[in-house]
Homo-oligomer: A and B are copies of this chain.
Amino acid sequence: MRNGHVPPADQAGLRRANLALVVRTLREHGQQSRAQLSALSGLSKATVSNLVSELESRRLVRAAGLTAGRQGRPGQLVELSPGSVCGIGLEINLEYLRATVLDLAGTVITEQLVPLRVVELGPQRCLDQLAELARSMLATVAAVGAWPAGITVAVPGLVDTQAGVVRFAPNLRWRQIALVDGLAARVDFPLERCAVDNDANLAALAEHTSGAASGTADLLCIVGSSGVGAGLLAAGVPVRGASGFAGEVGHLSLDPLGPSCPCGNRGCWERQIDLGTLLEVMSSPDDPVRDPSLAVSDRLRIIRGRAEAGDRRTLDALQQVGDALGVGLALLINVLNPAAVVLGGYFAELYEWLVEHARIQIASRVLSPEAARAAILPSTLGFTAAIRGGAQHAMRTVMDNPTLAPVVASEPTEAPA
């Protein structure tokens, strides 16, 4: 379906590709002189100069001093311009809305968290709140004199990224919500620069771009919270599947005799490793750690405290979850052979008590020793991975096609901030 009709290559596309190449080189290698860029990219010096001057006029890059020492004329360094082109990442979750603004260098311009009972509020009023948050982010971008490349929303559920529709988000109790349309209309932002994606997919993107698995092209990111989701990156490209629902690992049935799950099956992975299960195993029903009014972060602080204190029941529960995590990961590693697995969400918070158990299970279950080399890493971005990935995603459009960024007159900057 929607067969990707590849547009013909023309000179504009050629230019676009090379502009993007320079931006990418700068992203991967940090600030460089034009001569170094020429060597790294394979483009001629003349072309690099030309490209850089266009990127400068679009404020994607800027001058950054001179190269140090050595012989000959010093090079004029160029770097990705901070604070000029920004991406906006939003996240909808059970307990909050979250937002961030990143610039091309990956610097956080601003971050915000709005506690919210999303389920009780319902999709439409939640969208209103989300729009307000987006407007606030746009205002910040405008205040620092930057240009908003796009807005990307992370949602815990099945998303049709092409249509911009949330198909099914069980935890939020959402079905068929036209999120992109709704948001763009409310915020008065160009529709084509708004996007939705699954939170785990975006988390994977963030970990790939600037997180734990920075630069790793084949990546699996497992995010644990009230459910479990996975984001896949193969050769640097997100794997979404035919309808965009790839990575729905929560309901993998790992044990035909395991406990039953609301989804109708038995032994679902999610029922073995999500936060709710950990709580059930490690505590009695009246334990304060299970107080429903507690926020996730507070709950995790308690769990960490008990684990650090060596509480046996807690440690046993963590082992049980770690084992189950490893069993499922072994399966995914066999199928996908990633170079790294990043544990996100609550798994990252409890990484040190989970990973060894998981590793043992993986080692004994993976077919080839080479595949077993997959590194199991904790997310360095924690709960902000999804919004950062969203912001990165929003900027990716511009990095892949720098001509989208507007040309400014001539004056370098005169931001009042």
Chain A interface, DSSP helix/strand/loop, else mixed: loop
Mask of A92-120 contacts with B, CB within 8 angstroms, 1/0: 00000000000000000000000000000
A71-79, A126-134, A247-255, A346-354 - interface stretch: A247-255
Known: A1-B339, A241-B218. A17 touches B21 (CB 8 A): no
Most buried by B among A8, A237, A337: A8
A245, B331: Cβ atoms closer than 8 Å: no
User: Are A234 and B245 also in contact (CB < 8 A) when A14-B11, A252-B331, A255-B255 are?
Assistant: no
Task: Give bound CA distance, A358 to B247, whole Å.
Answer: 21
Residues of the B chain whose Cβ atoms lie less than 8 Å from the Cβ of A264: 364
- Bound-complex Cα distance A265 to B6 (A): 46
Cβ-based interface call for A215 (8 A): yes
B331 touches A368 (CB 8 A): no
Is A63 interfacial (CB 8 A cutoff)?
Answer: no
Q: In the complex the two chains form, is B245's CB within 8 Å of A368's CB?
A: yes
In the complex, A298 has a CB within 8 A of chain B: no
A263 nearest in chain B by CB position: B367
Residue A177 at the B interface, CB < 8 A?
no
A32 CB within 8 Å of chain B = no
Check if A327 is an interface residue, CB within 8 A of chain B: yes
Smallest distance from the beta carbon of A12 to chain B beta carbons, Å?
Answer: 11
Is A243 part of the contact surface with B, judged by Cβ < 8 Å? yes
Beta-carbon contacts under 8 Å, A256-309 to B = 256-257, 263-265
Q: How far, in whole Å, are A5 and B242 apart by their CA atoms in the complex?
A: 28
The A304-350 residues at the B interface (CB cut-off 8 A) are: 327, 330-332, 334-339
Is residue A9 contacting chain B, with contact meaning CB distance below 8 A?
yes
Residues in B whose Cβ lies below 8 Å from that of A47:
8
Instruction: Quote the shortest CB–CB distance from A228 to chain B (angstroms).
Output: 12
For A2, the closest partner residue in chain B by CB is: B217
**Contact pattern, A 1-34, Cβ under 8 Å of B = 1, otherwise 0:** 1011111111101100110010010000000000
CB of A178 within 8 Å of the partner chain:
no
The reply on A168 being an interface residue by CB < 8 A is yes
- Picked from B7, B11, B236, B331, the residue with its CB within 8 Å of the CB of A253 is B331
B9 pairs with A265, CB closer than 8 A: no
Does B265 contact A364, Cβ atoms closer than 8 Å? yes
Contact of A244 with B by CB under 8 A:
yes
* Cβ contacts under 8 Å, A1 to chain B: 339
Q: Are A240 and B337 neighbours in the complex by a CB distance under 8 Å?
A: yes
**A327 to chain B: which residues have CB within 8 Å?**
253, 256
Given the interface pairs A334-B249, A370-B167, the reply to whether A41 lies near B237 with Cβ below 8 Å is no
Cβ contacts under 8 Å, A330 to chain B: 253
Quick check: is A365 within 8 A (CB to CB) of the other chain? Answer: yes
Q: Contact at A218–B234, with CB atoms within 8 Å?
A: no
Establish whether residues A334 and B9, one from each chain, have CB atoms under 8 Å apart when the complex forms. no
CB–CB A18/B14 < 8 A? no
Do residues B248 and A367 form an inter-chain contact, with CB atoms below 8 A? yes
Q: Which of B11, B251, B254, B332 contacts A367 (CB 8 A)?
A: B251
Asked if A43 is at the interface of the complex by the 8 Å CB criterion, the answer is yes
Contacts A8-B41, A247-B335 known; 8 new A-B pairs at CB < 8 A? A7-B42, A9-B21, A239-B239, A240-B337, A243-B371, A245-B367, A248-B335, A335-B336
Interchain Cβ contacts under 8 Å between A and B, 28 examples: A3-B215, A5-B42, A8-B21, A8-B42, A9-B13, A9-B21, A13-B14, A168-B368, A217-B242, A230-B335, A234-B237, A234-B241, A235-B237, A235-B239, A241-B371, A242-B338, A243-B339, A245-B368, A245-B370, A246-B337, A247-B335, A247-B337, A248-B334, A248-B335, A250-B367, A253-B330, A253-B365, A335-B336
